[in-house]
Amino acid sequence: MHLPLKKFLSSMPQLGEIFSRAEIFKKTGRKVVVVQGLGFVGCAVSAAIAGGVGTDQRPLYFVIGVDLDTEQGLSKINAINAGLSPVDSPDPKLSELIKRGASENHNLCCTFYDEVYALADILVVNIPIDVKDRTQTEAGKIEVDTGSFKAAIARIGHLVNPGALIVVETTVPIGASQQLILPALREEFAKRGFYKEPQLAYCYERVMPGPKYVDSITRFWRTFSANSAEAACKAREFLSTVIETKEFPLCELETLEGCELGKLLENSYRSANIALIYEWTLLAERIGVDLFSVIDSIRVRSGTHCNMRFPGFGVGGYCLTKDSLLAQWSLTNLFDLDITLGMTLEAIGINYRMPLHTLELAQEIMGGPLEGIRVLICGLSYLPGVPDTRNSPGELLYDELLKAGAKVTVHDPIAHAWPQRPKAQLLANLTDCLGTAQLIIFTTAHGEYLDLDAQKLSQSRPSPPLIVDAQNVICDSRAAQLHGLGCALIGVGKGHWRARGYHKRIQTWARS
């Protein structure tokens, strides 16, 4: 999808051209929006803002995306300038908006020149703050690197017009706006002889990769807050041109800290929900209960229980694996409070270790050690239908299988690379993978796996494979077929399979 980097300079508008194009928009009463950071959130946000049109059907904004002049940053800049999406996404709207903005309306361009911050009427911040070790859940030992984030904010303060609205969408520790962002902006303004209070709004994103990637920006509820009435008014006006607020009204909170806390609480709630179900998963498996059907029967209670989680393999992605840790770090380091979010931290630790239960099921169905066993992991991405392998729970399972001496092969129908484990044997042909595997572990419920025919799945030679279903890939009717074909099956949350004897091979089956 990306143009070769050697063609980068020919595809990127030069600084003078960007300033000229921006001036044309400004002369017609329209505004310039600069988006700092073109990652999973920033590139989609840039496209969504560029897609906004006024009553005259003209683009509302001239959008300039900014990223670093690294190989990765240049690749993203280059792709968008060529009208291509830098992110593999099942949502066609993303590619359509980028093509329209960059190649047709010419109101979307990208660069690594941060001098364009001076053009911004509105500057949207989408650069990450990360936790150094996502497995560290001891309150006093959590480390967060804020240095590069503060440096990026300082650069904004050094260049931006003091009257511009700055909208931070990055997930930040509680207190970051008041204690990190505003002080950095004020200091840089003062160096330039400006003593006007920065106009800052915090509006955390709820971007969800998948088939509704763009809709999670433009057709979804958003919460925001600001440091002044003027900034709040500007933020509401801007957000209302990007989000369909008639259907998805904005929620304005009184304080920046409240808004920052909101994002971390959202994801901590989801994390705790998942951890709770894991405990009941172990129970259901031991007593022979199908936990999926039980939860289905509970979720009919709309409004109170309809969001109960299902059993699963583990938690991955960028947000749920770190946001609870950001919350604890802020209490310790920004507020100097002797408060420990005990349940919250325990939940994130439980979720990190969850794939080890799948390993235990693999050892159980194998009836002994996994050394020398040919294992196929089906699924790398942390969400079905999404080619995103960031912090995939598959990392822990893969590492532990290797430690156990297994011969591990990996397949994913849409994630064609695994940057986090570049030495993994990642094969593209599922038929070849199935034909040689002794043990198959389903870790992502991709459509290709859901549609697998029982005959094809049981074709491994010299004998039908043992199967661990960690993500409810195999329905009961197909499980019965597979067991009849000589497979043994076990599954996360599927205690009824054990009760039916599926975890044992049929005794009359003639072994090859």
pLDDT tens-place string over residues 260-311:
999 999 999 999 999 999 999 999 999 999 999 999 999 999 999 999 999 9
> In this model, does residue 393 exceed pLDDT 50?
yes
Q: Supply the pLDDT for residue 460.
A: 82
CB 211 within 8 A of CB 90: yes
Q: State how far the Cα of 26 lies from the Cα of 16, in Å rounded to an integer.
A: 15
Q: State how far the Cα of 207 lies from the Cα of 218, in Å rounded to an integer.
A: 10
At residue 361 the predicted structure's pLDDT band, cuts being 50, 70 and 90, is very high
Q: Supply the pLDDT for residue 432.
A: 87
Closest CA to 114 of 99, 100, 127, 128: 127
CB 262 within 8 A of CB 327: no
Query: H helices of 250-314, where?
Result: 256-287, 291-298
Beta bridge pairs of residue 467: 440, 489
> In this model, does residue 56 exceed pLDDT 90?
no
Q: Supply the pLDDT for residue 55.
A: 81
ω into residue 462 within 30 of 0, thus cis?
A: yes
Closest CA to 272 of 205, 206, 320: 320
> In this model, does residue 6 exceed pLDDT 80?
no
Helix 92-99 / helix 42-50 crossing angle, nearest 10 deg: 60
Beta bridge pairs of residue 61: 31
Distance (Å) of CA 119 to CA 29, 41, 159: 14, 22, 9
3-state SS record for 324-357: HHHHHHHHHHCCCCCCCCHHHHHHHHHHHHCHHH
Q: What is the pTM of this model?
A: 0.93
What type of residue sits at position 346?
A: E
Distance (Å) of CA 60 to CA 11, 158, 412: 24, 27, 40
Domains and CATH numbers, the chain: 5-254 (3.40.50.720), 289-353 (no CATH), 355-499 (3.40.50.720)
Q: State how far the Cα of 223 lies from the Cα of 262, in Å rounded to an integer.
A: 8
> In this model, does residue 2 exceed pLDDT 80?
no
Closest CA to 39 of 84, 109, 1, 86: 86
Handedness of CA 349, 350, 351, 353 (dihedral sign): positive
At residue 203 the predicted structure's pLDDT band, cuts being 50, 70 and 90, is very high
CB 505 within 8 A of CB 488: yes
DSSP classification of residue 119: G
At residue 5 the predicted structure's pLDDT band, cuts being 50, 70 and 90, is very low
Residues in the chain: 512
